[in-house]
């Protein structure tokens, strides 16, 4: 079952990339559920879950198939099975009036969701700065509210097969990082710093900053932890680790 298609040029040759469900997906965080607006559903509502593959086709013939469900193994998607989760329709600000916060357990279905245009999953960009927009961000989990974590999937000049992108230090291990960090990297001129967990966020007594760089297809990330003061100000550096 084809979920989405995108045309891509790899090495001067046109390809068609498809997201394909192996079997009909099941709804998750749907517009009829009472939990679509909660933390575990952040970024996934209004979504679907199931076995999902990324497929490359060249001249109508399949040349590669990459299962995406294994990328969800280490996270906490809103499902208790080893499936992929993908947003089907975008959430609008006007949908929040149907959350029924005062009457939990009595959901009011959000009207008109299934008539909306399908959300775009493959937003191709050049995350590794190798000069080719042949990868996209895939959310795989949602820690405490608003922090969408995921990997970047696609091909690169150094690794011309479908894969989850890693760092120069650990190229074979897909790099799990917040969407805000991936966005900062792709929008940068090759380097960026981003706070992914701030002092006081969910009562945190430390702050996490990532230093990011990408040149010629190599991604480098350094994780730094800082102590926080009682009034939630960054203080001394606690640890520093390349990822």
Q: Give the chain's domain count.
A: 1
Residue 34 belongs to what domain range? 2-87+119-242
Residue 26 neighbours by CB under 8 Å, 6+ apart:
48, 49, 50
Is 101 inside any structural domain?
no
**Cα–Cα distance for residue pair 174/172, rounded to 1 Å:** 6
Is 191 inside any structural domain?
yes
Q: Are 212 and 224 in contact (CB under 8 A)?
A: no
Q: Are 47 and 27 in contact (CB under 8 A)?
A: yes
Is 102 inside any structural domain?
no
Is 60 inside any structural domain?
yes
* pLDDT-derived band at 105, boundaries 50, 70, 90: low
pLDDT one-digit tens code per residue, 184-225: 999 999 899 999 999 998 889 999 999 999 998 999 999 999
- Residue 74, pLDDT score: 63
- Residue 143, pLDDT score: 83
Is 29 inside any structural domain?
yes
- The 3-state DSSP class for residue 41 equals helix
Is 94 inside any structural domain?
no
pLDDT one-digit tens code per residue, 44-84: 999 999 999 999 999 999 999 999 999 997 666 677 668 99
**Cα–Cα distance for residue pair 71/77, rounded to 1 Å:** 11
**Cα–Cα distance for residue pair 15/11, rounded to 1 Å:** 10
**Cα–Cα distance for residue pair 197/192, rounded to 1 Å:** 16
Is 182 inside any structural domain?
yes
- The more confident residue out of 146 and 230 is 230
Is 114 inside any structural domain?
no
- Residue 145, pLDDT score: 76
Positive or negative torsion for Cα 29, 34, 39, 42: positive
């Amino acid at each position: 079952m084809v979920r989405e298609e995108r045309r891509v040029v790899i090495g001067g040759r046109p390809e068609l990339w498809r997201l394909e469900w192996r079997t009909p997906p099941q709804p998750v965080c749907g517009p009829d559920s009472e939990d679509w607006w909660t933390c575990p559903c952040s970024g996934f509502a209004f979504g679907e879950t199931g076995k999902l593959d990324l497929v490359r086709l060249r001249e109508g013939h399949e040349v590669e198939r990459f299962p995406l469900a294994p990328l969800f193994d280490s996270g906490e998607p809103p499902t208790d099975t080893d499936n992929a989760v993908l947003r089907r329709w975008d959430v609008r600000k006007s949908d929040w009036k149907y959350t029924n916060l005062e009457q939990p357990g009595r959901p009011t279905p959000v009207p008109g969701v299934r008539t909306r245009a399908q959300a775009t999953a493959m937003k191709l960009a050049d995350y590794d700065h190798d000069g080719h927009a042949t990868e996209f961000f895939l959310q795989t989990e949602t820690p405490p509210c608003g922090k969408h974590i995921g990997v970047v999937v696609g091909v690169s000049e150094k690794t011309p097969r479908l894969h989850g992108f890693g760092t120069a230090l650990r190229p074979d291990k897909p790099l799990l990082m917040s969407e805000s960090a991936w966005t900062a990297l792709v929008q940068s001129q090759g380097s960026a710093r981003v706070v992914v967990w701030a002092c006081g966020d969910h009562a945190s007594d430390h702050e996490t900053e990532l230093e990011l760089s990408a040149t010629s297809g190599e991604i480098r990330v350094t994780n730094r932890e800082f102590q926080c003061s009682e009034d939630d100000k960054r203080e001394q550096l606690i640890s520093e680790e390349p990822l």
